[in-house]
Structure 1
Amino acid sequence: MSVSKTAKASPQGLDKVKQAFTQKGWQKNSPIFLDTACVSAATLKRFWRSVPIGQDSFQAICQAINLDSSEIIEQTPTAATSAEQTSATDSWVDSWVDSWVDRAAVAHKLRAQIAGTTRLLSLTGLTGIGKTALARHLAQRLADEGYTCLHLHCDRSQPLTLAKLAHALSQKAAPSHPIHLSFHALIDHLKQHRYLFIIDEIEHLLETAPDTCLSRFQNRIWSDFFQAILKADTCNSRFILTSQDLPNELDVLGDRWPDRWCAQALGGLSPEAQMLLFQKIGLSPPPHSEENQYLSRIGLAYQGHPLSLRIVASEIATTFNGSIKAYWHEYGSAIDPEAALANLPRHSQYLRNRVQPRIKAALLRLKHQLPDAYDLLQAGSIHCRRPQLSQVWLQRAQAVGIEPNRARLLIEVLGDRASLVPTVIDHRLYFSPHPLAIIYGFSA
């Protein structure tokens, strides 16, 4: 039996919560309460509307006001069942349910591959594009099939090591299956047991060869580790790797075992998925209304970038009290897709503060690894804001001192890093910088 991983408040429960807020002198969206409960403003707004939210978030809200969640929750048969059972999925998977936006086709395909022969899956794309969200969605589904899920994060200042991976594994393993730190013992354990690892931001484990522009692991042991996973006759464990850069070294290894390796690039959300995201945050205007058109234009301006759209929706739901029209009257002139690239830098400071640091960090890493690729992207952000043929990009490259063969290689690299967006127009391939690179990377 599947286990419900969401909960919503009953009308009687909301009355009790309102009384508790009144006693504490809090408003519905009080910043003090948000800090206490460690939930987002958008999640709290859905709670007040009796829209299902993740169980972890529901529990956190109740605990922050010292109320028993069983007195607040709407006791549907599904909710009652979930209260009596423990999911095999870790809490970090549960907490993602209420913010997941459907990528049905790709999610179905990847789940089938991981449940089949695929052992290593890489998800690549621009920062904030939804790589981790998709990975967690897959983990939630696979946990129901008996996989023990672990989530590891790569940090540039404290690189992930195999010892850290083994330590995390030892926290999950049954006492009868002790984990040893030796390389071969670790591989053997992973071959025999069903673990699903999400390793986030593996770009921090990679370096780029200046001559070929191909990415490779800084520490050779990671190459040996993943090769051992791929070459083993059988292996029950699975790995989902997220990265802003295509891990070329793994791509080469994967060519030797194509049924055991998959690389999936993620782009922006489709218009339908964009509207679903807005709906999940409580914005549900009628399909052909003026407000619906405003949301569509926002989605187009940001090319379906999930992080940007989630922040916009949260700001509408909180600062503008759910009024899409009020938000548009404030920022609409900066969101018109025809003038988006010129005006979006002057868009919401709240949005800029949340997105810009992540884009800047990605571009600074590019500048450090491949300075000429950074120079080409910067030149294109000034002179090639609209889609241009590769010949135009080669001209821009020559203007900044990059010879044609090198420029062709850099165009490919920038495409792999989702900094350049390919578009087919009249059966010809055009390239343009991703709007977020222009808006938050090179704008004043």
Structure 2
Amino acid sequence: MAASLRASESGLEIVDRARRKKGWNKQASSWYSEAHTLEPTLKRFWRRKPICQDAFVNICKAVAVDNWEDIVDNSPLSQTDSRAEFFACDDAWVGRKDLISQLAQKVQGSCHLLILLGIAGIGKTALAERLAVELQDDGRKFHQENFENQQQASDFASVAIRWLEKWGERITPDDRKDTQRLLNRLVKRLRENRYLVVIDSLELILKGNEEAGWNGFQDEWWAKFFDGFLAVGSCQSRLIVTSQDLPDQIPARYQKFWDCQKLNGLTASEQLDLFDKTGLEVDIDSPNKPYLERIGAAYEGHPLALRVIAGEIGSHPFYGNVAGYWNKYGHEIEEVEKAIEEAKTKGITASADDNWRLDRYTRELRKNVRFRLEKTFDRLKKDVLNAYRLLCEASVYRCRVPEEFWLSHLEDWDCDKDKQELALDALRDRFLVEEELIEDEIHLRQHNLIRSVALEHLKNLTAR
């Protein structure tokens, strides 16, 4: 994803002096032609709005300002927490204002553990970090643990030692051999001190099978930790956890002290705000707007996918030319629009021949979006094979259909009613199915991105 930059006031003065030496006016066509960018992008540059780094550099160099770094405004565009280096939350953050306010109130109240849930790339980590910014004035020390970091052990004892040592406690050789002692010390530390701990990608330390349950911890000490953390009642610290799967070992008896929130995509207005913040022109009379609205709708506001696309549009070879991007890739969006429209108007609700490639029609989408979704499918195939089969088989449906339509596909795999329901429950727990009550009947559908991946997997599944 391309970085976005904006000019400082002093930087604009440097560029303006260089412009006058060239004899160009501020919107000279020679300027944006030589910079391989567009007039709206040059206008944004002069208004000190963010534009993609490639366009920013080219605009500066076109007037012989080679030290473009001197032109950049390095002050933050939004409030940030100087105590933390965030993975996902940056100046391109948009939306979710009401949700942030609601969740912040919960965390400041009796909610000791908040679990943010949703599919890969939906913005769970960014929201957790944005909540940390919102809560930065309440005196809690910030700490972040990311289970995607394979350079660090993720078993409970190793993580507990890592946290306690970072917080200044001495760990003896005997302590390292006694996991119960480590658990007690960590819970005591969290209970008596004000920490805000963000734990990312909890799904990576979960496992699932029909006998042991779909989403149990690989290390039983993690279940004991969450039980002990919630059992203390009065606690100064707060945990915010992100996960694609809902852990089934968080004790229901302590529901007063924990909560979970499922994340959906950005709204239509938030999608345009995101494109605007990443440097694209989205004014109401802009010819870009209809194209960007259609892209946002096809991806159902998926933040990661939209940021990848915005970065591609803003960099070589498009440099902000949305129409050029659409001419090359718009047929991928039209393929999705056509299938959905046929389902609505012609009743063609199913097709295994749909060629949806929302996750992979460019290199950056394959690298950033498909890669992350594939890990979800791989985990599902390994842990809950019938659920994987169901997700693939049901990808034939273009729209919401009755639940029984989905379950009927598992009959070909010799699954009885109980196994069918267990498979569907596994998809629900992983938020890989969306439910809606229509005329007193449950209907199911897949997110467009999930369907795009599942259709590809279906080809291999049916080739058995």
Give the TM-score, by structure 1 length.
0.78
* Counterpart residue type for residue 322 of structure 1: G
Q: Which residue of 1 aligns with 2:218?
A: 218
Q: Does 1:300 align with 2:290?
A: no
Q: Which residue of 1 aligns with 2:20?
A: none
* Counterpart residue type for residue 99 of structure 2: V
Secondary structure of the residue aligned to 1:99 is: coil
CA deviation string 1:149-182 (max 9, x = no partner): 1111114955413344344434653x6x657753
* Counterpart residue type for residue 404 of structure 2: Q
Residue 169 of structure 1: which of 142, 156, 163 is its match?
A: 163
Alpha-carbon distance between aligned partners in 2 of 1:246 and 1:9, rounded to the nearest angstrom: 43
Alpha-carbon distance between aligned partners in 2 of 1:155 and 1:348, rounded to the nearest angstrom: 24
Alpha-carbon distance between aligned partners in 1 of 2:393 and 2:308, rounded to the nearest angstrom: 29
Alpha-carbon distance between aligned partners in 2 of 1:167 and 1:90, rounded to the nearest angstrom: 21
* Counterpart residue type for residue 299 of structure 2: Y
Alpha-carbon distance between aligned partners in 2 of 1:421 and 1:75, rounded to the nearest angstrom: 42
Alpha-carbon distance between aligned partners in 2 of 1:18 and 1:210, rounded to the nearest angstrom: 67
Q: Which residue of 2 aligns with 1:256?
A: 253
CA positional deviation for 1:396 = 1.4
Residue 51 of structure 1: which of 49, 52, 58 is its match?
A: 49
Alpha-carbon distance between aligned partners in 2 of 1:146 and 1:47, rounded to the nearest angstrom: 38
- 1:264-413 matches, within 5 Å, as 264-287=261-284, 289-319=286-316, 320-336=318-334, 337-339=336-338, 342-345=354-357, 347-381=361-395, 383-413=396-426
The answer to whether the 8 A contact 1:359-1:441 is kept is: no
Alpha-carbon distance between aligned partners in 2 of 1:353 and 1:7, rounded to the nearest angstrom: 23
CA positional deviation for 1:434 = 2.6
Where relative contact order (Cα < 8 A, 6+ residues apart) is larger, the structure is 2
Change (3 A) 1:49 1:317: farther
CA deviation string 1:349-405 (max 9, x = no partner): 432332111111110110000111111111111x32322101111221212322222
Q: Does 1:90 align with 2:103?
A: no
Secondary structure of the residue aligned to 1:262 is: strand
The answer to whether the 8 A contact 2:280-2:320 is kept is: yes
Q: Greater Rg, structure 1 or structure 2?
A: 2
* Bigger Cα displacement from structure 2, 408-417 vs 364-373: 408-417
- 1:91-240 matches, within 5 Å, as 91-92=85-86, 96-155=89-148, 159-170=153-164, 172-173=166-167, 182-211=182-211, 213-240=213-240
The answer to whether the 8 A contact 1:334-1:340 is kept is: no
CA deviation string 1:312-366 (max 9, x = no partner): 1111111311111111111112202423683432733432332111111110110
The answer to whether the 8 A contact 1:271-1:296 is kept is: yes
Secondary structure of the residue aligned to 2:241 is: strand
- 1:1-40 matches, within 5 Å, as 9-13=7-11
The answer to whether the 8 A contact 1:210-1:370 is kept is: yes
Secondary structure of the residue aligned to 2:331 is: helix
Change (3 A) 1:438 1:50: same
* Bigger Cα displacement from structure 2, 329-338 vs 114-123: 329-338
The answer to whether the 8 A contact 1:215-1:246 is kept is: yes
Give the TM-score, by structure 2 length.
0.75
* Counterpart residue type for residue 372 of structure 1: N
The answer to whether the 8 A contact 1:419-1:434 is kept is: yes
Alpha-carbon distance between aligned partners in 2 of 1:120 and 1:89, rounded to the nearest angstrom: 21
The alignment covers a number of residue pairs equal to 394
CA deviation string 1:203-254 (max 9, x = no partner): 121111314743111211111111111010311111111111111111xx0x
Change (3 A) 1:67 1:267: same
Alpha-carbon distance between aligned partners in 2 of 1:225 and 1:359, rounded to the nearest angstrom: 29
Alpha-carbon distance between aligned partners in 2 of 1:411 and 1:325, rounded to the nearest angstrom: 41
Alpha-carbon distance between aligned partners in 1 of 2:68 and 2:118, rounded to the nearest angstrom: 41
CA deviation string 1:81-108 (max 9, x = no partner): x9xxx95531327x72303222122211
The answer to whether the 8 A contact 1:179-1:185 is kept is: no
The answer to whether the 8 A contact 2:390-2:407 is kept is: no
CA positional deviation for 1:75 = 9.9
CA positional deviation for 1:146 = 1.0
User: Which structure 2 segments of 5+ residues have no match?
Assistant: 18-33, 37-43, 52-64, 176-181, 341-353, 460-464
CA deviation string 1:121-165 (max 9, x = no partner): 111111101000100001112222211111111149554133443
The answer to whether the 8 A contact 1:201-1:242 is kept is: yes
Secondary structure of the residue aligned to 1:248 is: coil
Provide the identity percentage. Answer: 33
* Counterpart residue type for residue 267 of structure 1: N
* Bigger Cα displacement from structure 2, 208-217 vs 6-15: 6-15
User: Which structure 1 segments of 5+ residues have no match?
Assistant: 1-5, 20-26, 30-45, 54-64
* Counterpart residue type for residue 51 of structure 1: K
Change (3 A) 1:438 1:190: same
Change (3 A) 1:302 1:423: farther
Alpha-carbon distance between aligned partners in 1 of 2:246 and 2:325, rounded to the nearest angstrom: 37
